[in-house]
Amino acid sequence: MGRFEAGGGNRRMQLVPQWYHFYMAMNLRLSDEQTIALRRVASQEGVSMQEAALIAVDEYVSRRSKRLDSAIERVLSEDKELLDRLAQ
């Protein structure tokens, strides 16, 4: 089987290289203002615009997870008595 294949019947259709399925590829459409801001930050950090965008995604995902953990901890502490009664 080659890099690009197409077939019918029992043959598997493969129109993209195998490595493509291991990484997520996407197009990110930014406004002019967002592009300028991303370019400026990337330049200041000494990284590519792609690397700056990846860092921003990682930070966003990390913050969301931390906010969720914090909310759970708050509910567990503020509603401890109620949760204890419900557990009985």
pLDDT single digits (tens) 57-87: 999 888 888 888 888 888 888 888 888 888 8
The rounded Cα 31 to chain-centroid distance in angstroms is 20
Q: Residue 62 domain-assigned?
A: yes
For the chain, what is the domain count? Answer: 1
Question: For residue 87, which amino acid is it?
Answer: A
In this prediction the pTM is: 0.52
Where in the sequence is the domain holding 39, given as residue range(s)? 30-87
Residue 71 domain-assigned (yes or no): yes
Residue 48 in any domain: the answer is yes
Please indicate, yes or no, if residue 40 is contained in any of the structural domains.
Answer: yes
- The verdict on residue 24 lying in a domain is no
Residue 1, domain member (yes or no): no
Helix axes 80-87 and 49-78, enclosed angle (nearest 10): 70
Mean pLDDT, the chain, whole residue set: 81
